[in-house]
Structure 1
Amino acid sequence: MRFFTRLWPYILRYRFRMSVGLLALAAASGASIMAPYVLGRAVDGLREGVTRRELLFFAGLTIGIQTIDSGLRFVTRVFVSGSSRKIEYDLRNDVYAHIQSLDQKFFQDNQTGDLMARVSNDVTTIREILGPGLMDLCRSILLFVAGLAIMLTIDVKLALLAAMPLPLITLLFVWVGSVIEKRFHAVQTQFGGLTTFVQENFSGARVIKAYVQEENEAAAFEREAKAFEKANLAWARLSMALWPLLTVLIGISTVIVIYAGAMEVKSGAITLGQFVQFNSYIVLLSMPMVNLGWTLNMYQQAAASMERVEEVLSRRPAVTDAPGVRPLPEIRGGIGFEGVSFGYFNRPVLHDITLDVPAGSMLAIVGPTGTGKTTLVSLIARVYDVKAGRITIDGHDVRDVPLAQLHRAVAFVPQESFLFSATLEENVAWGGDVDPAHVQQAVDLAQLSNDLPQLPRGMQTMVGERGVSLSGGQKQRTAIARALAREAPILILDDALSHVDAYTEERILSGVRRYIAGRTAVIIAHRVSAVKWADQIVVLESGRIVERGTHDELVARDGPYAQLDRRQRLEEQLEDDGGDGVS
């Protein structure tokens, strides 16, 4: 019942089409039930001296019944199978949309390949029980009930003998059903793991080749595939065992009925035509009984898949809009941190952060790796919610700003630039209806224009999956251009210049400074040269602010920032001296 509880709204959405299909199925089943009756009458007619005209009538009637049966079953497939395809489409879209609405922690807890398997394979398995499975189940029940009722009117004893396998079949279904569901759940889980492995290896193909790990990864894939095969065989052995067991039970029942029926004909209890009719019903009902086993198998698969889909749909995002939240008339970009503390899995990362970033100013954040810089800027866009304190935008708690408005107001460039398998222009304009002039301006500001002549088709060049055809620096500059093209009031660069040289960095930052006039910028960087123009610089160590001020103020204090500045200037001087020596 849990299975249909989740699917019921989708079924109701197409209730008219489903109803038409099932009514056609009921009519087709009625036609099928008529065929043995006509055959029985024809056989009795032969004994009674039927005329040629009557034989032709019976033959024509049989052909007509079969034609009607086939036509109605076609209508059933069009409406029921068609509806199941529409339900599959709706469910897959809903699962995908729900996954997209979930917070960052969900994606940390779940593997990409497994999520892909749930959206694709599991939803398809659910569709199969609503299409072929539902049709076979309804037809089997209708034929069995109607056929058994007619058989009881012919001869009660023979009908009971024909129904003899039912208790054994019921026990078999009860015993096998739950085991099949568990085993198919294991199959789908293993398939998700296999998909994850393949996805990671294809994405990391460059690294695998660079470290000459093709053979090791091929062996690892073989192990994953073997585990999938093992899970599949465990399910298939039990699933396939149903067919011979059902066939044997039905076969034994049929032999008994034929013998007992022959004795009934011999004694005159029933006519030869009734005996033929009775056996025709047994043949007609044997397939529905076998189909019940097939449908049970399919249902258990669908139930296992529905459980996996339900695990996703029941997950609620940790970050949501508060009840009654209303959009702000305008976001200018002022950012405030008031006693903010945060951690992951009970591990503190930020401690009592208090900051004020006026609208239109630039904040720079520096500090060693792992001190919470990325976490700090992620809290601005509510990637996570703070554990203590609060963050404000223009004096309003970010939790009181609609998420959609907040995300539109923040243009974020992460450490790892992600590009889509599209053209360079589409990647820069991605995320909104961006004017071509703004796209070109963003490309110029990000210092990407000089690279365009080197690309096969300039801005129309396909960058490949995850930007595989571009260098690391080109990918970062494309990501920066994408953020600049949005013209959001807040720009966040999270170590987004790590793959460009100092000269290009200076030119990009010069463009960014022109771009952010009147906008708020938050820049995380490891090079002092990237942050010295900031209105405010904070130094983070172990999740705490240990220094803050302008570049000149921090250098004059001779603290951690000044030490970082001296070390980097010394490194640059040594590089210059080394270059002079070579020349």
Structure 2
Amino acid sequence: MTRREFTVADEYQYDHRSPVRWLASHILRYPVLLVTFLVTTFGMAGSQSMSAVMVGRAFDTVVQEAGVAALTGAALLVVAAYVGYGLFDIVNSMAIRVLAQRVERDARDELYLSLLSKSQTFHGRQRVGDLMARATNDVQQVNQFVSPALGMTTESTLTLVIPLITIATLNTNLLLAPVLFLTGLTFALRYHNQNLRPVAGQLRQRFGVMNAGLAETITGIEVVKGFAQEPAEEARFSENAQGYRDAFVREGEVNARYLPLLLYGVAFGLAFGHALLLFQQGAISVGQVITFMALLGTLRSPIRFLLTTSSVVQQSLASARRILEMILTETELDQNTGGIAKPMVG
């Protein structure tokens, strides 16, 4: 418990040990929404894989000349899989977006309560612009951490794992290229996030500095004009804006070196050649080749999503770190709960 000049009764206690634990404690406050999101995400990934399997079986039905009835049944199953995917997607989007809004509301509420508990000395030492950047932009970034970052990351992970399970049911020999690809993907994502983390933190810090400088200039605009300091203030703002711009460009340079898309292209070609080799050997059918390539095709979207979510996650963690730093800052004057309260007489 940090030292405070004032306390609020019945305040919800969150985990302040790290930014990740703090965000997790906010999310876990709403288990129903979280479970709904996870269940529907599993349903979406399963429906997507099932539709690919049904398309492959439809091709086998045509090749084997099994008849119109069998082809109609396979087509209806494909339609059912896509309808199920759509229904799961509607509930999934609603759950994760409501969860994101509630987490943002609670984070802002916690920050405001923390600021109310600080002493006037603390507030006098803060730069108003930086404080407002933490209370507005950084809190909004927490919303982005839940939706779309957390939602897309979870969906991408399941969309990478469930197709592998489905491929294993077709023929275990087909797992060679996908497993090699996922191994390379793991190392590539780790390398990408290691390079992105410091850049994202600097980006949030430069935004706070730019916002604070601009707020101070606008607040004291009469003094600036009275001493004819407009050129100096303009140069200072340009310098801060240039620093923010440079950090933004460095983030773009890191994202431009996103290797998983290259690895996916190589793996897709190798997997197709491997599938054709197994087909020539009679180990798999035409429908299984089509199913296999359709399942590999579903991996393209999550790999693209991970490029977007990696940047959002790192910026959100940097914002959470800045908010948590403000919440955990202690005041010099603690609340005196053991004080004496008596009517003044004399």
TM band (smaller chain): 0.7 to 0.9
**CA 1:179–1:103 in structure 2 vs 1: closer, same or farther (change >3 Å)?**
farther
Map of 2:180 onto structure 1? 164
1:30-64 CA-to-partner distances (Å, cap 9, x unmatched) read: 21121111011001111011434443433333233
1:496-540 CA-to-partner distances (Å, cap 9, x unmatched) read: xxxxxxxxxxxxxxxxxxxxxxxxxxxxxxxxxxxxxxxxxxxxx
> CA shift at 1:293, angstroms?
4.1
* Inter-partner Cα distance in structure 1 for 2:70 and 2:53: 15
* Inter-partner Cα distance in structure 1 for 2:286 and 2:203: 51
> CA shift at 1:294, angstroms?
3.5
Is 1:330 the counterpart of 2:343 in the alignment? yes
Contact 1:191 1:228 in 2 (8 A): yes
List aligned pairs for 1:143-158, cutoff 5 A.
143-158=159-174
> CA shift at 1:286, angstroms?
2.9
Picking from 59, 70, 75, the partner of 2:91 is: 75
Map of 1:45 onto structure 2? 61
> CA shift at 1:96, angstroms?
2.0
* Inter-partner Cα distance in structure 1 for 2:312 and 2:250: 16
Map of 1:316 onto structure 2? 330
Map of 2:5 onto structure 1? none
Contact 2:134 2:323 in 1 (8 A): yes
Contact 1:118 1:308 in 2 (8 A): yes
**CA 1:107–1:43 in structure 2 vs 1: closer, same or farther (change >3 Å)?**
same
**CA 1:51–1:194 in structure 2 vs 1: closer, same or farther (change >3 Å)?**
same
Unaligned runs of 5+ in 1: 333-358, 360-583
* Inter-partner Cα distance in structure 2 for 1:295 and 1:15: 23
Contact 1:32 1:65 in 2 (8 A): yes
Contact 1:117 1:188 in 2 (8 A): no
> CA shift at 1:8, angstroms?
3.4
* Inter-partner Cα distance in structure 2 for 1:286 and 1:331: 75
Contact 1:38 1:58 in 2 (8 A): yes
Contact 1:187 1:231 in 2 (8 A): yes
Is 1:87 the counterpart of 2:103 in the alignment? yes
TM value normalised by structure 1: 0.54
Map of 2:257 onto structure 1? 241
* Inter-partner Cα distance in structure 2 for 1:298 and 1:154: 36
Contact 2:181 2:264 in 1 (8 A): yes
Structure of greater relative contact order (alpha carbons < 8 Å, 6+ residues apart): 2
Contact 1:180 1:301 in 2 (8 A): no
Picking from 120, 125, 134, the partner of 1:104 is: 120
Is 1:60 the counterpart of 2:76 in the alignment? yes
Question: What SS is found at the alignment partner of 1:319?
Answer: coil
* Inter-partner Cα distance in structure 2 for 1:268 and 1:284: 25
Map of 1:297 onto structure 2? 311
* Inter-partner Cα distance in structure 2 for 1:3 and 1:191: 19
1:449-473 CA-to-partner distances (Å, cap 9, x unmatched) read: xxxxxxxxxxxxxxxxxxxxxxxxx
Residue type matched to 1:297 in 2? S
Map of 1:133 onto structure 2? 149
* Inter-partner Cα distance in structure 1 for 2:57 and 2:177: 23
**CA 1:331–1:18 in structure 2 vs 1: closer, same or farther (change >3 Å)?**
farther
Picking from 233, 238, 250, the partner of 1:222 is: 238
1:207-261 CA-to-partner distances (Å, cap 9, x unmatched) read: 333344434433332221111101111122113422xx21110000000111111
TM value normalised by structure 2: 0.88
Map of 1:198 onto structure 2? 214
Greater mean deviation of Cα atoms: 162-171 or 248-257: 162-171
Is 1:307 the counterpart of 2:321 in the alignment? yes
List aligned pairs for 1:392-471, cutoff 5 A.
none
* Inter-partner Cα distance in structure 1 for 2:73 and 2:224: 75
* Inter-partner Cα distance in structure 1 for 2:126 and 2:190: 33
Picking from 263, 275, 279, the partner of 2:293 is: 279
Question: What SS is found at the alignment partner of 2:334?
Answer: coil
* Inter-partner Cα distance in structure 2 for 1:331 and 1:175: 67
Contact 1:140 1:291 in 2 (8 A): yes
Contact 1:114 1:193 in 2 (8 A): yes
Residue type matched to 2:327 in 1? L
Question: What SS is found at the alignment partner of 1:102?
Answer: coil
Give percent identity, aligned residues only.
23
Contact 1:112 1:196 in 2 (8 A): yes
1:89-140 CA-to-partner distances (Å, cap 9, x unmatched) read: 1101211221232123433443211111111222222221222222222222
* Inter-partner Cα distance in structure 2 for 1:331 and 1:196: 44
Greater mean deviation of Cα atoms: 214-223 or 75-84: 214-223
Residue type matched to 1:170 in 2? T
> CA shift at 1:306, angstroms?
1.6
Residue type matched to 1:263 in 2? L
**CA 1:63–1:331 in structure 2 vs 1: closer, same or farther (change >3 Å)?**
farther
* Inter-partner Cα distance in structure 2 for 1:122 and 1:300: 12
Residue type matched to 1:145 in 2? V
* Inter-partner Cα distance in structure 2 for 1:169 and 1:8: 25
List aligned pairs for 1:248-287, cutoff 5 A.
248-287=262-301
Map of 2:9 onto structure 1? none
1:525-571 CA-to-partner distances (Å, cap 9, x unmatched) read: xxxxxxxxxxxxxxxxxxxxxxxxxxxxxxxxxxxxxxxxxxxxxxx
Contact 2:255 2:307 in 1 (8 A): no
* Inter-partner Cα distance in structure 2 for 1:268 and 1:46: 18
Residue type matched to 1:262 in 2? L
1:69-94 CA-to-partner distances (Å, cap 9, x unmatched) read: 12211111111211111110110121
1:402-450 CA-to-partner distances (Å, cap 9, x unmatched) read: xxxxxxxxxxxxxxxxxxxxxxxxxxxxxxxxxxxxxxxxxxxxxxxxx
Greater mean deviation of Cα atoms: 55-64 or 255-264: 55-64
More strand, by proportion: 1
Residue type matched to 1:106 in 2? F
Q: Which protein has the larger Cα radius of gyration, Structure 1 or Structure 2?
A: 1
* Inter-partner Cα distance in structure 1 for 2:338 and 2:256: 55
**CA 1:90–1:232 in structure 2 vs 1: closer, same or farther (change >3 Å)?**
same
* Inter-partner Cα distance in structure 1 for 2:45 and 2:281: 33
Contact 1:102 1:318 in 2 (8 A): no
* Inter-partner Cα distance in structure 1 for 2:28 and 2:134: 23
Contact 1:183 1:234 in 2 (8 A): yes
* Inter-partner Cα distance in structure 2 for 1:212 and 1:108: 26
**CA 1:329–1:9 in structure 2 vs 1: closer, same or farther (change >3 Å)?**
farther
